[in-house]
Structure 1
């Protein structure tokens, strides 16, 4: 099997077009990583990076800033030009998608010819607006770091406190951060058009994988702490972790690609002088329709209650608020329960806003298609609604399990949080999903040139 995989990767470089696409993708991803290390002018990025390292020792989860830094690939910690990351573009895309589901004009535009291109253009305009707003807020945050990051951090802005210098710093930083994000978006689109894989997703993935060297060092320290220190983990723990990682990755692959195939029968139709023969097809309903979005929403919302109650407890000296703040920590029981419930809620929320069973049933009826045993129209819509409702529960429960694994590993086995994040949660879901999508595109190029890729003789090999 390993020889076959090695041969497949060798074949990738035998096709000139595929080889150039791979090298082009790697080159642009390297440029994206540079944006996480080039400091913004007038800021002391080394001081903030050192503060984040100290903060990680006290709070492994990193809080809301740690979550945001995860998607920027560490650029936030370095006061880099890519500190906003590509998240404003993701946020703008999500906003446009949600508005398309509730605004009739946008829903109509999405179904028209060229409507999707127009919506993408609107998303870019919204991205610029979000970048300007978030960039200005981030510039203010770096100007007064103690209000956001807490005590223990020195001055980050290297300009004088005169009004002219401060406003020049704010405007300059806002424009640089906006430019950095739009550069990442443009590089992602270039990868999509001229490289391999989805460019925006690869930009996020490469930022997540940038933390892997630090995680590997932590793994080494777990089993080989150094001279004079006793290792807390033995070979049995190592084997168990490897088996768990393999099981989690296999589960993510299986559920990511899992779908329920609804059979669809098309009747024979006559349009003008042409007669179209009937046939049988299927309608794929994905088990994990919402992807990683429920986990991201739940994490983002649950970051704030802990900080709010901790602040109220310190200001008003109320023990109840302090106890709630402790329970709402990333490893608290209350936090885990709310985390699971919110993932379930947002899984159904995403399906309710994005899966339009009425439109699907109407399209099937217009094209002469029907589900065997189900009447076209309202009955088909209700059937699809019930089917999607049932399989969404399975996908939501799977997301809950994957999201809680890193927390339990860190809390029960005392595994460093930066290591446990690679055993589940947002990081592993995004990474595995993006790798699967990239592998599919590579397969397409290989099969078009009559090479055996990850597929062989029409059967899936090594894939769920």
Structure 2
């Protein structure tokens, strides 16, 4: 039988109407996303398309996983949210280079609306370009048994594919923005998370079937589970890790006390760039491999076939280039999203001082040096997380569904979603305390 405290807690949770509505909205939006991933674009043989993707892999395989299998079914959501993510990253990068966009970033909400408009326009252009390229390329492809992927190639199929895929990408962009505004967490990240997790049950069943048939030993299954749990724990630890720089604030005290020093901290994350470096590195390194595979298949070119093999995951050239690109993008993107000089100026304006460091340029140089060391550690961490699953697949020959990038995305999204729910709960408890305090005063 629940006591008064338990009934109070249940009653408090029952009053969380807003949070409950936000969670239900997120669930409903994810259901719409999954239903839309089964609405096909006319003119494509689904069986031939599926077998073609299984043969190719590469960039198409990664996109198919991020879209929850929508590309394999060639549905209206086949492009997923990748055009929107690419457009957002391009706008952010251009904002660090073009003075006009830098000025918009300083104009507050009005400037942000213009940047959002530019991102949406870029999403339309990228989605239409990608849809056109995929439609044209698919007309020449065949699946298992030399069955054509497209029933009736021609301008009619290209037009319908471009319109359908572009409209689907724009709808997902709108759906993600609505989830961010009316739900909990980042909507675009939740859509990617749903796409990745959608294929997990089938992968688990496939692994269990292999173990049951003797194709995979029980020991290796437990070793895979242990590695997955270990990598997940490592990702959680590194994503929460911070370097806290001590900061002193000089405050005017009352009476004869004069100025009083108050100590605080400037938290700096180890992985400031998030999951952007692995996503960019994967896209750039897999694009030439996929293009070479398509062209090589059509023209029967041996050197293109060799290039495709060399750039396949698990090959030394692929792993070296992948690691190098992650390192480069980690430093590049961190430099875009974090400005040490701006941080130093903000500290100076608020009367803050790092002990032993002069305000202004010296503080900026100190923070920049700390961020350089943190980014080095964060970049190495990203390389390890992204390459461990590849080494696992090659060494043990196990069907490991999660790649490093997808595992990183899943963990980070779950952490962000949990943190925002906790923030809503803390906010609700704080409001209850204020109400009780006001009632006591009255």
Say whether the fold is shared (TM-score over 0.5). Answer: yes
CA spacing shift, 1:393–1:13, aligned 2, 3 Å: farther
The structure 1 segments of at least 4 consecutive aligned residues displaced by more than 4 Å after TM superposition are 8-14, 150-153, 275-278, 304-318, 321-325
Question: Which residue, out of 388, 394, 417, partners 2:377?
Answer: 394
Larger CA deviation: 79-88 vs 288-297? 288-297
Distance 1:347 1:444, change over 3 A: same
Counterpart in the other structure of 2:191: 203
Residue 68 to residue 13, structure 1, CA distance change in 2 (3 Å)? farther
Q: Which moved more, 1:127-136 or 1:404-413?
A: 127-136
Give 1:278 deviation, angstroms: 6.4
Q: Quote how far apart the aligned CAs of 1:10 are.
A: 11
Change (3 A) 1:174 1:328: closer
User: Structure 2 matches for 1:419-438, cutoff 5 A?
Assistant: 420-422=400-402, 425-438=404-417
Correspondence for 1:458: none
Given that 1:12 and 1:19 are in contact with CA atoms closer than 8 Å, whether structure 2 keeps it comes out as no
Matched residue, 1:240: 223
The equivalences for 1:351-390 within 5 A come to 351-390=334-373
SS at match of 1:40: coil
Matches within 5 A, 1:322-337: 325-337=308-320
Are the aligned partners of 1:135 and 1:174 in contact in 2 as well (CA < 8 Å)?
Answer: yes
CA contact (8 A) 2:203 2:401 kept: no
Query: Any gaps of 5 or more consecutive residues in structure 1?
Result: 1-7, 452-464
Q: Between 105-114 and 84-93, report the one with greater CA deviation.
A: 105-114
CA separation of 1:246/1:367 partners in 2, compared to 1, >3 Å: closer, same or farther? same
SS of match in other structure, 2:266:
strand
> Per-residue CA shift, 1:440-462, capped at 9, x if unaligned?
121122233449xxxxxxxxxxx
SS of equivalent residue, structure 2 residue 79: coil
| Contact 1:131/1:181 (<8 A) preserved | yes
| Alpha-carbon offset, residue 276 of structure 1 | 11
CA displacement at 1:304 relative to structure 2: 4.4
State the Cα distance separating 1:211 from its structure 2 match. Answer: 1.0
Asked if residue 444 in structure 1 is aligned to residue 414 in structure 2, the reply is no
CA distance in 2: counterparts of 1:398 and 1:12, whole angstroms: 39
Q: 1:191 to 1:340 in 2, by over 3 A?
A: same
Does the 8 Å CA contact 2:249/2:353 hold for their aligned counterparts? Answer: yes
Task: Say if 2:59 and 2:290, in contact at 8 Å, map to a contact too.
Answer: no
Residues in 2 aligned to 1:409 and 1:377: alpha-carbon distance in whole angstroms: 48
1:286 shift after superposition? 1.0
Matches within 5 A, 1:20-31: 20-31=21-32
Q: How does 1:17-416 map to 2 (within 5 A)?
A: 17-53=18-54, 55=55, 62-114=57-109, 115-145=111-141, 153-159=146-152, 166-225=154-213, 230-234=214-218, 236-268=219-251, 279-304=262-287, 306=289, 325-416=308-399
1:125 deviation in Å?
Answer: 1.7
1:329–1:113: structure 2 CA closer, same or farther, 3 Å change rule? Answer: closer
> Could you tell me the TM-score, scaled by structure 1's length?
0.81
Change (3 A) 1:257 1:96: same
Secondary structure at 2:265 match in 1: strand
**Deviation digits for residues 352-373 of structure 1, max 9, x if unmatched?**
2332112222222233222121
**C-alpha RMSD over aligned residues:** 2.9
Alpha-carbon distance between aligned partners in 1 of 2:24 and 2:259, rounded to the nearest angstrom: 45
Contact 1:39–1:81 at 8 Å: present in 2 too? yes
Contact kept in structure 1, 2:58 and 2:289, CA below 8 Å = no
SS at match of 1:196: coil
TM-score by length of 2: 0.85
Could you say which residue in structure 2 is the equivalent of 1:459? Answer: none
Hey, what's the Cα distance between the residues in 2 that align with 1:334 and 1:242? 28
Structure 2 gaps of 5+ residues are: 1-8, 431-442
Structure holding more helix per residue: 2
Quote how far apart the aligned CAs of 1:63 are. 0.7
- SS class of match (1:372): coil
Report deviation, 1:383. Answer: 0.5
Q: Give 1:13 shift.
A: 6.6
